[in-house]
Structure 1
């Protein structure tokens, strides 16, 4: 039973990893105009570093839950979220001050195609939605595990791409369709394996073990 569970898990993680890689194909077409190679590769490696860092945050949150010397409740989960977001805000604010990003915001707002007011509206709602996303992620860790949270986040990547095609008239490339199919396959494979294992645990006599 454990071998079956591990194989289902490995297969699901493999599919989800491939689906994320497929989305990266032909990503150079999204490169901004007049951007130097140095800036492009710097942004690429910083994106990889940010992804790796967030990949460590999920299991560390789960470890925090396990090491807590008190019962994990909804209020405690909210406190953890507040502390994480506070220090993340301080870190980003210092970085923006050093890089003079606050001075660039009014200029970007004036050049925004949809208008200055909608620029600030997008910024505000982006912050609100990201807070809901982070709260949902640590909530999934609380209810299940960091692995399940990572799987759900990975599945949402191609879904986001498809929504961009529907609402923002982006090009629907074959890679996006393949990525969506692989992510759904991996998602279903993982939870199907978990359902089979839970049934076997409830009915341990359903299988005859040979000596």
Structure 2
């Protein structure tokens, strides 16, 4: 995806780095906090799903700042609260509802699987992201990116071969398999949604800038939250929150802290995800998502004392290998492009000099 015209290359790279850090850091923390909710007495899948996008009002802060900036640079009559046109708005509705589905599947999987296991299964979304990116946005692949896709797909497959040995104590094999399937389905749907977000920016009938990207994120999260809210109403989750808080093993204050933290962390992660797609590509967002695996693996072992079997170690090494392979390929491609550009400049200079001499 082409970067916004009004954003310089340096600023784009800086924004990309910040977005990547937010996506990985908040995403890792968010996964751990969701598991903390289920480990100590939380059982509401729709509530957990709701929390993953309910923090969208936070986005009103940067939107308000950009709106005030527009009012200063334009007449008050021309400054609009929302800049999004119909095509982009329609895409935001579709993407938002699909994110609601992803949130539910992710929460259902997280409720039954260890964090380290669920994160590796979810990383298989990269293969689906690559496939849908090729179909929807004509993503180009290099030998290095193909190698990355293979490695990051084989990793979760190895984990799946001996998955039952990682089943939490007291959980039935049926529940464990359901969790495995739910997380796998979340990976498939997410693999479709990320390129769809990139396609949304390409199909929009207006130039995409930072403000529009944030507005898109806001509307996307709003409709995902509406989807989860309907589920909560049907399942009567709102009435159960106070009762669940009183019975929470870590205490009622910690319970509400967990809920708020989940909402804030996942909103930061989604903002980072949107920023990566905005300044990079959907494939890059999938690669960075896979990078979070080793971090989650280590944190899960430290905080939740989860087992770290041999197959997890092999899967982890393959994921790291794939990540290094991708960025090595990107560095080589960048150097090659720079070299070719320099050659073209030299040829142009020589041509101009010869014409001047004549």
TM-score band, normalised by the shorter chain?
A: 0.7 to 0.9
TM-score, length-scaled by structure 2 = 0.52
Q: Is the 8 A contact 2:167 2:176 kept in 1?
A: no
Residue 25 of structure 1, CA deviation = 5.3
Residues 162, 12 of structure 1: alpha-carbon distance in 2 compared, 3 angstrom cutoff: same
Moved over 6 A (4+): none
Matches within 5 A, 1:16-165: 16-24=152-160, 26-28=162-164, 29-31=166-168, 33=170, 35=172, 37=174, 39-165=175-301
Q: How far off is 1:173 after superposition?
A: 2.6
1:172/1:46 Cα in 2 relative to 1: closer, same or farther (>3 Å)? closer
Deviation of 1:160 after TM superposition, in Å, equals 0.7
Q: Relative to structure 1, is the Cα distance of residues 79 and 149 closer, same or farther in structure 2, using a 3 angstrom cutoff?
A: same
Give the distance between the partners of 1:174 and 1:118, measured in 2 at CA.
34
1:194 counterpart residue number: 330
Deviation at 1:6, TM superposition (A): 2.0
Distance 1:91 1:97, change over 3 A: same
Gaps of 5+ in 1: 206-211
Structure 2, unmatched stretches of 5+, are 1-140, 344-358
Bigger shift: residues 165-174 or 69-78: 165-174
Kindly name which structure, 1 or 2, has the bigger radius of gyration based on alpha carbons.
Answer: 2
1:184 to 1:41, Cα distance in 2 relative to 1, 3 A: closer
Secondary structure, in 3 states, of the residue corresponding to 2:142?
A: helix
| Aligned residues of 1:158 and 1:176 also touching (Cα < 8 A) | no
1:181 equivalent to 2:317? Answer: yes
Q: Which residue of 2 aligns with 1:14?
A: 150
Cα deviation 1:16-74 (Å, max 9, x = unaligned): 1122334445443334636573x554444333222211111100110011112222211
Residues of 1 paired with 2:159 and 2:240: CA distance?
A: 30
Q: Given the superposition, is the C-alpha separation of residues 41 and 128 from structure 1 closer, same or farther in structure 2, using an over 3 Å criterion?
A: same
1:126 deviation in Å? 0.8
Cα distance in 2 between the residues matched to 1:43 and 1:170: 17
Quick one: distance in 2 between partners of 1:92 and 1:151?
A: 27
- From the superposition, tell whether residues 35 and 160 of structure 1 become closer, same or farther in structure 2 (CA, over 3 Å): same
Judged with a 3 Å threshold, the aligned counterparts in structure 2 of structure 1 residues 191 and 87 are, in CA distance, closer, same or farther, namely same
CA contact (8 A) 1:16 1:155 kept: no
Does the residue aligned with 1:98 lie in a helix, a strand or coil? helix
TM-score, normalising length: structure 1: 0.84
Cα offset, 1:189, TM superposition: 0.4
Q: Which moved more, 1:125-134 or 1:95-104?
A: 95-104
